[in-house]
Amino acid sequence: MAEVSEILMSVLSTIRVPRPGDRVHKDECALSFATPESEGGLYVCMNSFLGFGSKYVERHHLRTGQRAYLHITRTRKTQKEDENNSGSGDPPKKKPTRLAIGIEGGFDVEREQYEEEVKVVLFPDRQEVTKEDLATMPDVVRDRVMLSINGLMAADSVSHTLQVQQWDGEVRQESKHAADLKQLDNGIKIPPSGWRCEVCDLQENLWMNLTDGKVLCGRRYFDGSGGNNHALEHFQQTGYPLAVKLGTITPDGADVYSYEEDDMVLDPKLPEHLTHFGIDMMTMEKTERTMTELEIAVNQRVGEWEVIQESGTALKPLWGPGLTGMKNLGNSCYLNSVVQVLFTIPDFQDKYVSNIDKILDEAPSDPTQDFKTQVAKLGHGLLSGEYSTDPGDDPSAEHRDDQVGIAPRMFKNLVGRGHPEFSTNRQQDAQEFLLHFINMVERNCRSGLNPSEAFRFLVEERIVCQQSQKAKYTQRVDYIVQLPVPMDQATNTEELQEAERRREEAEAAGTPPPPIPRAKIPFAACLAALSEPETLTDFWSSAVQTKTTATKTTRFASFPDHLVIQIKKFTFGLDWVPKKLDVSIDVPDTLDLSALRATGQQPGEELLPEVAPPPLMTPDVEVKGILGSHGNEEDDSLYSPLLSPVLDDSTVIQLCEMGFPLEACRKAVYYTGNTGIDAAMSWVMGHMEDPDFAAPLVLPGSSSAPGTTPTESVSEEHLATIVSMGFSRDQATRALRATSNVLERAVDWIFSHLDDLESMDVSEGGRSEGASEGSRDPPPGPRVRDGPGKYELFAFISHMGTSTMCGHYVCHIKKDQQWVIFNDQKVCASEKPPKDLGYLYFYRRVAE
């Protein structure tokens, strides 16, 4: 023991006590998914507070020289079956009565199911020091080490913080309308019972408007149950903001909803507001479930396999390499589904999994913050099979359907950091996350293999002026094919019309509506809608020097190795309210898109002159530069800073009335050339995620701030990203300058100005690098792979729910000719894969 004491004394200066703000990783290994519950436990460095599994702690010791680690092991407590346990295998829990986590009455926290054991371990000989051993050591050693141990154990782990362990979903804010709510003196008095909707006579899910006392039914749910939206429609007609749910009123309060604030709220004056309509809170009794109780019921059902199993079939659980489940971290099923599919693609396997040892050896001092390390860790966790063993082999396993799986906490934190949506625990759109992740891969693969190239392809757009019959060709890069859903092409139109007729009759009679059949849309019709010519009105033709009509056709200029197809089920109604199309599409197992290959300029076809439309400007402003000029060394902008745009005020006002920021509305109108509300609205919906969405309108190439110049330095990170796509540094620089240094806009700009870039001969430093005096090679385009347009389906992601912001995602992947369903932690053989109900489809090229 004296020897151990001397070792501790020698490393005492490296043992730190956690301070507020320190990141303590005591629940998960930085390089694998080992946890304190894993075999061998977790070793937490007592200097950096990074955690390592038994497989990787030696590596960290050798790289850093750190010797003192806190070894944490957790053993599952033995618990008797609770009489309320349904046999699901979950430990007995109290029935939650509060929509909260880590709060009395809320959902249980899993940590309480384990017993912990901690000890100090000294490397390289792995000498163990228990708390009892420390008691016999000198005070200076014992006190310092115990302070560190106690600090580590008391500190909030990073993973726990990310999970928001203590969360209360019942905390509501006071409504801004409550204090001065207007109530009409209309003589209405509400009886204590026997309520009915004043429009359809429904007797449940009823809400009383606190302004005029109208009793109306609530919203209709996605399955047709609930109400008929009459309370909501009443608000839309009158603007009266607050309503109380009848049947939830008790002396302690009631459910109050604010339509304008779109949330459950508090009404401090609720007794007074109810008394106005003859309701005495003190005598009321609860007769309906509150919204909180309804949400709790939904949350308790989230993990039930029966909810999403295929046609009631008992599915066979699977385990092994490539069959690893992923824990749901709270609405993270969108992420789970996407990465499960990505790591079946050879490019991602080769980049991140095949050379994982090299990646881990080159990892920075804090690997939890390194993109490549965390993606490699995730890929290895999914494909190795280390976390996908048959629970039947473990005598402590409580049921065979659950595998250990992995919890991608570090990965989710890293890829979502700084993003307004993916950094939250809210449900997200799987397609948006896929593009977000591809963008991160692009930024982090500036050299070497770039796996996102597997999806990258070129789109050719051909626009023909109908007056002159001259054409214009442009190319852009894309990663996903967005397939429209032509509802008018449904093959069961008569069935849908009959169902709508019965629904209207039921609504008029005040009876529950009948089930609505699903529209059946042929895949060929979706493909035809994508490829058919689009009519462009108000197209400015350089041939006739005026606005006219044109047609635009879209074709593939290249075919990627892996093709992603998004079915555009999520759309907007006439009131711009998001809605989901309930459709069944006969998506084929094999796909031949050869007929959609772009052909380029046709023999004898004339091109539109390269003349840009006249600039938007006020008549009394001097025109210093002409829109579309290529510039010179002093001014290489495409727009003169002195041009003052004239915007269609009516369109700007319409957009502002929809709730969009003024500057965003001005940009939408400007960048769509005053062509109307539809074009401007499309621009808004396509740029809402831009970091400068609400920033003031800055003309491309002009100064974005006082003192800036056209030759202002651009972001090296943005430059490297564009260069990694195959463009020269000069081309990337020009694109960034023309778009105020905004990466996403620069990428769009560069693909729409390929012809301009070919004529570039002057850069910020003079002549372009590598250019000869007499000639110049054509500038390289984006690196794209090309080949036959024949594909086979190997995966699809499905969504259940009424919106991308809610519901649940699962994915099906074809492995060894067998379809497998991945539903978070559940991995099973699929008996009837619902290929007609998918949202994202993944195809791979068929080798000829």
Binding site as annotated, residues for substrate = 207, 219-222, 257, 259, 262
Q: State the amino acid at position 198 in one-letter form.
A: E
Q: Closest Cα partner for 78 from 396, 474, 311?
A: 396
Known binding-site positions: 197, 200, 207, 217, 219-222, 230, 257, 259, 262
Q: State the amino acid at position 750 in one-letter form.
A: I
**DSSP at 119:** E
SS3 342: helix
* Sheet (strand 263-265) strand order: 215-217, 206-209, 242-245, 256-258, 263-265
Partnered with residue 812 across adjacent β-strands are: 796, 821
Q: State the amino acid at position 719 in one-letter form.
A: L
Known binding-site positions for Zn(2+): 197, 200, 217, 230
CA dist 189 and 182 (Å) reads 16
The DSSP element (H or E) to which 483 belongs, if any, is: strand 481-483
One DSSP character per residue, 692-757 reads TTTSPP--TTS-SSTT--TT----HHHHHHHHTTT--HHHHHHHHHHTTT-HHHHHHHHHT-HHHH
Q: Closest Cα partner for 502 from 491, 513, 494?
A: 513
CA dist 423 and 187 (Å) reads 50
SS3 168: strand
Cβ 194 vs Cβ 165: under 8 Å: no
Question: What residue has token string 């290929």?
Answer: 835
Sign of the CA dihedral with 642 first, then 678, 481, and 798 last:
positive
Give the end-to-end CA distance of the chain in Å, rounded to a whole number: 71
Beta strand pairing call for 471-478 and 562-567? unpaired
Q: Determine which one of 60, 160, 276, 333 is catalytic.
A: 333
Question: Can you read off the two tokens belonging to residue 87?
Answer: 């046999």
SS3 52: strand
Residue 659: Cβ within 10 Å count: 7
Question: Can you read off the two tokens belonging to residue 819?
Answer: 């379809």
Burial of residue 827 (CB within 10 Å: 0-12, 13-18, 19+) is buried
Q: Closest Cα partner for 374 from 417, 404, 325?
A: 417
Cβ 347 vs Cβ 453: under 8 Å: yes
Q: Closest Cα partner for 821 from 320, 312, 433, 341?
A: 341
Is there a catalytic annotation at residue 811?
no
Q: Determine which one of 45, 808, 811, 812 is catalytic.
A: 808
Q: Closest Cα partner for 689 from 670, 666, 664?
A: 664
Is there a catalytic annotation at residue 71?
no
CA dist 444 and 720 (Å) reads 10
Question: Can you read off the two tokens belonging to residue 24?
Answer: 């303590």
Q: Closest Cα partner for 479 from 634, 342, 316?
A: 342
Angle (nearest 5°) at CA 503 between 498 and 508: 130
Helix orientation angle between 743-751 and 729-738, rounded to the nearest 10 degrees:
110
CA dist 644 and 635 (Å) reads 18
Question: What residue has token string 């489940």?
Answer: 325
Q: Active-site residues: which are they? A: 333, 808
